[in-house]
């Protein structure tokens, strides 16, 4: 259920959240790959849906990174405390970034 005082997710957001739930622990996917898996061409729309994710950590939006294999955003932030938290969560799952990029391409989950 959404958090108190939140609107219910749209059908599009539900599709994004369902796809994101399929990313296993220790793997990441990209906004673009999620979009393709739900027949959406807009990575930005996927990002906006995840920005409003009221179901974290059940919907593990921290496992979604940019198509450039850089960290991307987290809860609407592109740097600072939220990005440090995203990196920490991924690090706890064994996902590492070197010089700002995903270190191990085998960690990318394809739908």
- Cα(94)–Cα(69) distance, rounded to whole angstroms? 16
Question: Which helix (H) or strand (E) element contains residue 97?
Answer: strand 97-98
- Cα(86)–Cα(75) distance, rounded to whole angstroms? 9
Active site residue ranges: 61
Residues 6+ apart with CB under 8 A from 100: 70, 71
């Amino acid at each position: 259920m959404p958090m108190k005082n939140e609107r219910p997710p749209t059908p599009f957001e539900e599709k994004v959240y369902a796809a994101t739930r399929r990313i296993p622990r220790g793997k990441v996917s990209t906004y673009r790959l999620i979009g393709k898996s739900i027949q959406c061409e807009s990575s930005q729309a996927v990002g906006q849906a995840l920005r409003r994710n009221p179901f974290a950590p059940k919907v593990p939006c921290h496992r979604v990174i940019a198509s450039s294999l850089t960290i991307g955003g987290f809860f609407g932030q592109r740097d600072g405390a939220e990005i440090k938290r995203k990196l920490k969560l991924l690090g706890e799952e064994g996902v590492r970034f070197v010089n700002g990029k995903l270190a191990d391409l085998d960690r990318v989950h394809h739908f």
